[in-house]
Structure 1
Amino acid sequence: MTDDHLCEEARREPLIPLGQAPRNRRELWRRKALWIGVWLVFLSSPVHDLISGDHTTGGTIAGWLGLAVFVALYLSLLFRDMGERPYPSRLVGALIGSMAVLATVLGLALGSDWLGLYCYVSVACGMVLPLRWAFWTIPATGVMLLLVGLRTDEDEALNLLILVLLIGFAMTGVSQLVRTTVELRKARATVAQLAANEERLRLARDLHDLLGHSLSLITLKSELAGRMLPDHPDKAAQQVADIEQVSRQALVDVREAVTGYRRPRLAAELAGAQVALTAAGIVARIPAEPDLDGVPEGTESALAWALREAITNVVRHSGAARCTVDLVRRQTLDGPALELSVEDDGSGGTGKGPGNGLTGLTERLEKAGGTLEAGRVKRGFRLTARVPVGPVADVGSRS
């Protein structure tokens, strides 16, 4: 597990990532074409009917034109509905109505081979219309199919009726799933924005609390020193000394605050590891609630950095299918210790030695009095970070 080639991750990435938003317009159109193109299989019967030569020249030309218009209406309706700017409700109703009229006219004029067009009408109703409209337009499409079938081929119409109803109502479920997924993505983006706003507010409050009093005191003492300087230089010098002391203390407070902001938390890193591994298609087993009672902040920070580095290596370089994270307290010869282990079933990278990430991590753990072990095991790769914690009484069981 070393810090090098990212091409392994690119090779493992699917052409169309499932459950993820499209990354560019090309991928969006590819998804649309794949999803909508599946249903074009029902065009085989009308096309075969036109090619067979059973109709007059005028009927064949009219059939090709009608089929082209029907497919254009269908594709336009579904492509726009899956995009960012769907058609208005009235236009959607007009397009579906036009599809139904064309399906009826072509079915009555050219025969039972054209009854499959009602499948497209049903799909459009299920995908585009709201539920309250889809629940009656889909059965209405089935009724139209039966009525046309009475004039052409009743058996064929009965066979298609179940399919028309099934795919129509199935598409209502798919449509609701798509809408729910879009709403969830928007909700997640909103939550992230609110979290960022809250963090900015917290930072503003902390800066106000840290610097407000100090800067106000510096301003007052500066004004006082300026008034004292002509007549009482010794007192002005004392005020300047106070200003220097306050400034130095303010600088120390700011540095401590910034260090706290930059310090990672183990609970947050565990949650982030779950998200990163899942997004990479790796089955993860991670403890939900770490037991950190009595663990100093520096120790927790060192383990959090170790977890971040380990998960980064698993995702980028290992090619693993599974990853297990364990956090346990152990009683060692040197006293109680908190041990973090990350084990995967991957290749462990190129095997050219530790990278800069693991080297820096080893140095960070050594500063906290801990150790790092990393190497191949029987079925993969394991990284173990161990840091000392509080007294023996704080030692608990496995998280």
Structure 2
Amino acid sequence: MPRLGRVIVALTTFGYLALAISSMAGRHVATSDIALGIPILILLFLLQNLHSLPNRGGARPRYWIWTLSAQGLLTYIPFLIFKESWVGMPGFFSGSLLLWLPGAAGWISAGSVSVTLFLIEKELGADSFTSFYYGCGAAIIGLSIFGLTRLVDLLVEVQRARAELARLAVAQERDRVARDLHDLLGYSLSAITLKGELVYRLVNSQPERACEEISTMLAISRQALSDVRMVASRYRDMSLAAEIAATRAVLVSADIATVVTVDCGPLEDRVNTVLSTVLREGVSNLLRHSKAQHCVIEVVLDKGVVRLRLENDGLNSSPPVATRRDGRGLDNLCTRLGELGGTLNAAAAEDGWFRLVALVPLAGAAA
């Protein structure tokens, strides 16, 4: 479309050039004068296209004052030779002034072109009506050139904006997929690894329990496969209650004493999903980075704010999870909670416990 717009501007100015030559021929201008006028008209045509075709969005080139001055001289000096046959040319100069002079200066200068053409026509012997007619014609030509050029500029800007929006959409979708894969699969893969290690230890001594753990591991792997498929379309809704139950089972399998407290009532889907993701990431970090023996999971509703608290005593045997910044799990959680107006705090306590607290205001989530 921008290319088509530029072609239309060029054809429009070429049409005015052809009309100017026809006007000179129709007014029976001498052949020698026409031979002089055609090169001037062609030069004006080139200058006008130079002023019209480039995009006005950027900084003005250094040459603009010289080309604009040259167009002004070639617009008015030929009146000394061609008299009233040159009446159509000031309209182009009016359009260039509107394009290149900023704000009020452009409009005042363009208006002065119509006034000067009116005075020139009066000086050449035309009546007031004819002089006014040519002055209005110059204004209309100038506005037409200005409007067409600005339309092309807007098309160029829209095309650039669409390309930028497409780039941003691709980047956002890439971040979403990476975030969802990390948040969904980190916990599942950690649980599968834990279950596999447990089965390896039990397969000889307790084969029946090993079979039960294998069944649980298969269920987790199927869920992980389903999560991967869902990432391709959207981030699936998750149930906090179901996630807490699954988490408790995994922690018990890892011989981690777990205390669970849930007192928040039913939550809307977005809050459920985000808090489930926080729980997954926290437990995934617990399984991968610590050797905790005790864990506390608490979800309560207090004054319109849902608080999820996850604590473990793994600091006594390993560095705190908050110091491990090689991943993007906590950053992902901050992003998800921030979309609901929530906050995340993950820090080590003096008593040797690591605490992760997520707060989500229900009013912000509804908004």
Match of 2:70 in 1: 98
Indicate conservation of the 8 Å contact 2:6/2:152, yes or no: no
Residue 246 of structure 1 aligns to which amino acid in structure 2? I
Aligned counterpart, 1:39: 16
From 157, 173, 191, give the equivalent of 1:217. Answer: 191
| Residue equivalent to 2:25 | 48
CA contact (8 A) 2:98 2:146 kept: yes
Mapped partners of 1:168, 1:49: distance in 2: 24
Structure 1 residue 205: Cα displacement? 3.5
Aligned partners of 2:118, 2:47: CA distance in 1, in Å?
Answer: 23
Task: Evaluate the alpha carbon distance shift between residue 54 and residue 191 of structure 1 in structure 2; reply closer, same or farther with a 3 A threshold.
Answer: closer
8 Å contact from structure 1 (residues 229, 236) kept in 2:
yes
Number of positions where the alignment pairs a residue of Structure 1 with one of Structure 2: 233
Aligned alpha-carbon RMSD (Å): 4.0
- In structure 1, what is the equivalent of residue 95 of structure 2? 123
The one of the two structures with greater contact order (alpha-carbon pairs below 8 A, sep at least 6) is 1
Q: Which segments of 5 or more consecutive residues in structure 1 lack a partner in the other structure?
A: 1-20, 263-399
1:365-386: CA deviation from partner (whole Å, max 9, x where unpaired): xxxxxxxxxxxxxxxxxxxxxx
Quick one: which amino acid aligns to residue 39 of structure 1? Y
Paired letter, 2:66: A
Deviation for aligned residue 1:68? 2.5
Matched, 1:74 2:48: yes
Kept in 1, the 8 Å contact 2:92–2:145? The answer is: no
- Is 1:245 equivalent to 2:222 in the alignment? no
Looking at structure 2, the residues matched to 259 and 74 of structure 1 have their Cα atoms a distance apart, in angstroms, of: 52
1:54 is aligned with what amino acid?
Answer: A
The answer to whether the aligner puts 1:165 opposite 2:139 as a matched pair is yes
- Counting aligned pairs with the same residue, the percent is 29
Displacement of 1:118 in angstroms is: 0.7
Q: Distance in 2 between matches of 1:114 and 1:43?
A: 7
Aligned AA (1:137):
S
Q: CA deviation at 1:126?
A: 3.2
Q: Aligned equivalents of 2:222 and 2:216: distance in 1?
A: 10
Describe the SS at the equivalent of 1:209.
helix
Cα 1:74–1:60 shift into 2, 3 Å: same
- The one-letter code sitting in structure 2 at the alignment partner of 1:113 is S
The answer to whether structure 1 residue 142 and structure 2 residue 118 are counterparts is no
Distance in 2 (CA, whole Å) between partners of 1:190 and 1:115 is 45
CA distance in 2, matches of 1:150, 1:115: 12
Distance in 2 (CA, whole Å) between partners of 1:28 and 1:189 is 19
Report the secondary structure of 1:80's partner residue: coil
Which whole-Å CA distance do the structure 2 matches of 1:60 and 1:88 have between them? 34
Write the mapping of 1:127-276 to structure 2, written as runs, cut at 5 A: 127-149=99-121, 151-155=123-127, 157-169=131-143, 171-224=145-198, 228=201, 234=207, 242-255=216-229, 258=232
Q: CA deviation at 1:246?
A: 2.1
**Contact kept? 1:32, 1:79, Cα under 8 Å:** yes
- Once the two structures are TM-superposed, the CA of residue 103 in structure 1 deviates from its matched residue by 1.6
Q: CA deviation at 1:236?
A: 6.6
Matches within 5 A, 1:335-346: none
1:203 aligned counterpart, secondary structure: helix
Distance 1:164 1:219, change over 3 A: same
Change (3 A) 1:91 1:249: same
The aligned amino acid for 2:82 is L
| CA shift in 2, pair 1:192/1:66, >3 Å | closer
CA offset digits 1:213-272 (Å, max 9, x no partner):
10111233445556x38985847776555433321232234345557689xxxxxxxxxx
Matches of 1:29 and 1:169, distance apart in 2: 16
Structure having the higher Rg: 2
Relative to 1, partners in 2 of residues 1:100 and 1:176: Cα closer, same or farther, differing over 3 Å?
Answer: same
SS at match of 1:116: coil
Q: Secondary structure at the match of 2:30?
A: coil
CA distance in 1, matches of 2:54, 2:120: 30
Cα offset, 1:135, TM superposition: 0.7
TM-aligned CA deviation for residue 179 of structure 1: 4.3
TM-fit CA distance, 1:138: 0.5
Deviates more, 1:243-252 or 1:253-262: 253-262
Distance 1:150 1:205, change over 3 A: same
Per the alignment, residue 88 of structure 1 pairs with: 60
Q: Secondary structure at the match of 1:69?
A: helix
More off after superposition, 202-211 vs 106-115: 202-211
2:85 aligned residue: 113
Q: Contact 2:94/2:139 (CA < 8 Å) preserved in 1? A: yes
Contact 2:21 2:38 in 1 (8 A): no
Unaligned runs of 5+ in 2: 237-367
Please identify, of 129-138 and 147-156, the stretch whose mean Cα deviation from structure 2 is larger.
147-156
